[in-house]
Structure 1
Amino acid sequence: MHGLFAVAMLSGIYSLVSATFFVALDAVDVAFTEAAVGAGVSTVLFLATLSITGEKEKKPNHSGLLPMIVVCIVGAALVYGTLDMPHYGQADAPAHTHVSKRYIEESGTAMGIPNIVTSVLASYRGYDTLGEVTVIFTAGVAVLLLIGSVKGPIKESVADGMQHHLVLRVVAKFLIPVIMLFALYVQFHGDFGPGGGFQAGVIFAAAFILYALVFGLNAAQQIIYHRLLVILVASGVLIYGGVGVASMLLDANFLDYSVLGSTPAAGQHIGILLVELGVGITVATVMLVIYFAFACRGRRGKQE
């Protein structure tokens, strides 16, 4: 398939269908993330990239035999790796051992929050989540280094392509505040239900991306400055790491939130809220930085 637009659409549809599968498996948090990231922002970023590269893939000068061989070898290695995985429903699988039982039965009391997923992601395996946030931060930095940062406004006639779509602009004015309010709900209600920093950050970024799509890039850049975005990209990671440093200064291990409150459960709750806030800030600003980098480059390419 050489139609890149069709590939982007199929990718978004696949992510949305995958989200419904996760809902059927009661993995609502994973479904939330897949729908927001895979079917939402990722599709928008693909389309922003297509505005630079074009919708059709150029015909390669070399044969497709070598890539096919590489794909087959990698696929065979992945299939071979699955042979070491436990069988579906196997009683002695790692997921059915004492570890999962401890998370399910004791995390609510130990962490002071009812959402087990949030407890696992933000506390029990907080090191992994810090690594994931660092990867997202690195991706934003890599885009800025490769594509370049936003440099000044672009021509309004090119940037504001939907100024005559009155209905769309009116509807967007009602939707954007609701989307931002929902993002705040997802951010701070993630302790009690599906949500958290990853999902909230993507939804919050989606509100600004919608504003940029409807009202133009120049209008969006007047609301949130690019230099401020770059600062916030790093501040989210610093908040997460700073919570760990604060724990160490209070004679505890890195990312051990128990010492942050009057009781261990209260400390865990405070620490999880802070690190989730850092995650949300980094995710939202990285999504916006990447979008503005691709969109502004595409608009300038059309001007030239």
Structure 2
Amino acid sequence: METIVDIVLLTFLVVIAIAIVRTRDLLAVVMLTGIYGLLSASFFVVLDAVDVAFTEASVGAGISGLLMLTAITMTGRKEQSGRHKPFLALFVVLVTGGMLIYGTLDMPYFGAVDAPVHMHVAPRYIHDSMQEVGVPNIVTAVLGSYRAFDTLGEVAVIFTAGIGVLSLLALPRRSKQAKSDEATVEQMHERHMVLRIVSKALIPFILLFALYVQFHGDFGPGGGFQAGVIFAAAIILYTMLFGLDTAKRVFNQGLIRLLAAIGLLLYACVGVVSMLNGANFLDYDVLAEDPVAGQHLGILLIELGVGITVTSVMLIIFFSFAGRRQAQQKTAEHNGTEQQGEQDVSRTL
């Protein structure tokens, strides 16, 4: 039965992937991408990789779709047809792909019981992590302790991505919005009264669930990455229903940018404190008298840093795209008003 489920899920994934490549409606592509993420999460659940499934559901089917929807408001809904034939690029891709496949020929077969990862690495994590780290969730022990330096690199990549988007799409500060614009925005939101009322009831529970995922990652699926994405999704939902200007008044943009750096700095500082106490970088055993208690404290702090940085960076990316789109709309409206005024003057003369 499990084999049939695997075949069905993989078939759906292939079909949706082909549909994404062939579809030129970018809104449909975003929707299909979300479906692809949900199917991928289901496939990971079948493989008993619940933590990976949780991450895929929250990131691949959740926040990624929201960010892409914001992005296509700037690019337009329809993909432009290409007028050139990128044969050189296709050749490079084929050669690179062939080399990558050739490089995997010497690797052990997938699932082989005599593979080094199954003979040495996995048994160490499974049998010794509880005594060394004391965390029931082995995935959290691996990512937060054994692979803490690698996870620090992932957080640094996320922070760098946020800084890159902010650098490319940063907008200058503008004066207060005109009263007519506020009236227009308020009139627009009145048409979504049901959604606004329902969201007011749901957003607190979404934020509470994010906190649960953040601080329950030691015992079940979750952690800073998933919690940060869920927390950011709640704020983005608030922004989409109540308006960008309202959200910017509620959530200080300068504070969000500061928190993005503080989260990464908190993670790195845990490693520095470990070194100052005579241990290796990100060796939590020296953070408390009991090594296991030190591991718990270190994982708690670095996961908190991950959650803060991920939340802040997701919000930075969203507000940057949404703010750029809003500026484009205002510029277009202003230019249209000036052209209309010039036409009226011409008719008068």
Which residue in 2 is equivalent to 1:242?
269
* Partner residue of 1:40 out of 47, 62, 66: 62
Task: Report SS of the residue matched to 1:26.
Answer: coil
- CA, structure 1 residues 68+3, in 2 after alignment: closer, same or farther (shift >3 Å)? farther
Which residue in 2 is equivalent to 1:49?
71
- How many angstroms apart in 1 are the aligned matches of 2:75 and 2:37? 23
Q: Deviations over 1:140-166 (max 9, x none)?
A: 000011111573466436656433211
- How many angstroms apart in 1 are the aligned matches of 2:223 and 2:284? 17
- How many angstroms apart in 2 are the aligned matches of 1:241 and 1:54? 40
Check conservation: 1:150, 1:296, Cα contact below 8 A: no
Tell me the amino acid that sits aligned with residue 251 of structure 2: I
Which residue in 2 is equivalent to 1:274?
301
Percent of aligned positions with the same letter in both sequences? 58
- CA, structure 1 residues 188+99, in 2 after alignment: closer, same or farther (shift >3 Å)? same
* Partner residue of 1:116 out of 135, 138, 147: 138
Q: Deviations over 1:24-77 (max 9, x none)?
A: 111111111111111111111111110001011223332243343333333333
Check conservation: 2:284, 2:294, Cα contact below 8 A: yes
- CA, structure 1 residues 158+289, in 2 after alignment: closer, same or farther (shift >3 Å)? farther
Q: Which moved more, 1:221-230 or 1:55-64?
A: 55-64
Which residue in 2 is equivalent to 1:172?
199
Question: Which structure 2 residue ranges, 5 or more long, are not aligned?
Answer: 1-22, 332-349
Which residue in 1 is equivalent to 2:211?
184
Tell me the amino acid that sits aligned with residue 36 of structure 1: S
Number of equivalences: 304
- CA, structure 1 residues 123+48, in 2 after alignment: closer, same or farther (shift >3 Å)? same
Which residue in 2 is equivalent to 1:263?
290
Task: Report SS of the residue matched to 2:190.
Answer: coil
* Equivalences for residues 27-176 of structure 1 within 5 A: 27-149=49-171, 151-152=173-174, 155-156=181-182, 161-176=188-203
Check conservation: 1:163, 1:215, Cα contact below 8 A: no
Q: Deviations over 1:149-184 (max 9, x none)?
A: 573466436656433211111110011000000000
- The alpha-carbon deviation at position 87 of structure 1 amounts to 0.9
- How many angstroms apart in 1 are the aligned matches of 2:58 and 2:137? 19
- The alpha-carbon deviation at position 219 of structure 1 amounts to 1.5
Larger Rg: 2
Check conservation: 1:41, 1:206, Cα contact below 8 A: yes
Q: Does 1:212 align with 2:234?
A: no
Q: Does 1:202 align with 2:229?
A: yes
Task: Report SS of the residue matched to 1:97.
Answer: helix
- How many angstroms apart in 2 are the aligned matches of 1:242 and 1:163? 47
- CA, structure 1 residues 82+64, in 2 after alignment: closer, same or farther (shift >3 Å)? same
- How many angstroms apart in 2 are the aligned matches of 1:18 and 1:94? 27
- How many angstroms apart in 1 are the aligned matches of 2:92 and 2:189? 44
Check conservation: 1:245, 1:255, Cα contact below 8 A: yes
Which residue in 2 is equivalent to 1:18?
40
- How many angstroms apart in 2 are the aligned matches of 1:71 and 1:47? 28
Tell me the amino acid that sits aligned with residue 156 of structure 1: E
Q: Does 1:251 align with 2:281?
A: no
Cα RMSD, aligned residues only: 1.7
- CA, structure 1 residues 10+158, in 2 after alignment: closer, same or farther (shift >3 Å)? farther
Check conservation: 2:26, 2:79, Cα contact below 8 A: yes
Tell me the amino acid that sits aligned with residue 67 of structure 2: L
Give the structure-2-normalised TM-score. Answer: 0.83
